[in-house]
Chains A and B, each alone.
Chain A
Amino acid sequence: NAGVTQTPKFQVLKTGQSMTLQCAQDMNHEYMSWYRQDPGMGLRLIHYSVGAGITDQGEVPNGYNVSRSTTEDFPLRLLSAAPSQTSVYFCASTVMGLAGAGGAGELFFGEGSRLTVL
Chain B
Amino acid sequence: EDQVTQSPEALRLQEGESSSLNCSYTVSGLRGLFWYRQDPGKGPEFLFTLYSAGEEKEKERLKATLTKKESFLHITAPKPEDSATYLCAVTTRPIYNQGGKLIFGQGTELSVKP
B41 touches A56 (CB 8 A): no
Is B91's CB under 8 angstroms from A103's CB?
A: yes
Interface string of B13-25 (1 = CB under 8 A from A): 0000000000000
Chain B: which residue is nearest A56 at the CB level?
B98
Which of the residues A30, A40, A94, A105 comes within 8 Å of B89, measured between beta carbons? A105
Q: Number of B residues contacting the other chain (C-beta, 8 Å)?
A: 28
Contact pattern, A 49-89, Cβ under 8 Å of B = 1, otherwise 0:
01000001011000000000000000000000000000000
Task: Knowing A31-B96, A96-B96, A102-B49, say if A109 contacts B44 (CB, 8 Å).
Answer: yes
In the assembled complex, the CB of B84 is this many whole angstroms from the nearest CB of chain A, namely 14
Given A108-B46, A110-B43, A112-B42, the answer on whether A103 and B104 have CB atoms closer than 8 Å is no
Kindly provide the distance from the CB of A55 to the nearest chain B CB, expressed in whole angstroms: 12
Q: Which of A31, A40, A50 contacts B106 (CB 8 A)?
A: A40
Q: Does B94 contact A (CB under 8 A)?
A: yes
A interface vs B, CB < 8 Å? 4, 30-31, 33, 40-45, 48, 50, 56, 58-59, 90, 92, 94, 96-97, 99-112
For the complex with contacts A42-B4, A96-B94, A102-B91, 15 further pairs of A-B residues with Cβ separation under 8 Å are A4-B43, A33-B95, A43-B44, A43-B89, A59-B101, A94-B95, A99-B32, A101-B32, A102-B32, A102-B51, A103-B93, A104-B94, A106-B46, A111-B43, A112-B43
28 A-B pairs whose Cβ atoms sit less than 8 Å apart in the complex: A42-B105, A42-B106, A43-B44, A43-B89, A44-B104, A45-B101, A45-B102, A48-B95, A48-B96, A48-B101, A90-B44, A102-B49, A103-B31, A103-B32, A103-B93, A103-B94, A103-B95, A104-B95, A104-B96, A105-B34, A106-B34, A107-B44, A107-B102, A109-B43, A109-B44, A110-B43, A111-B43, A112-B43
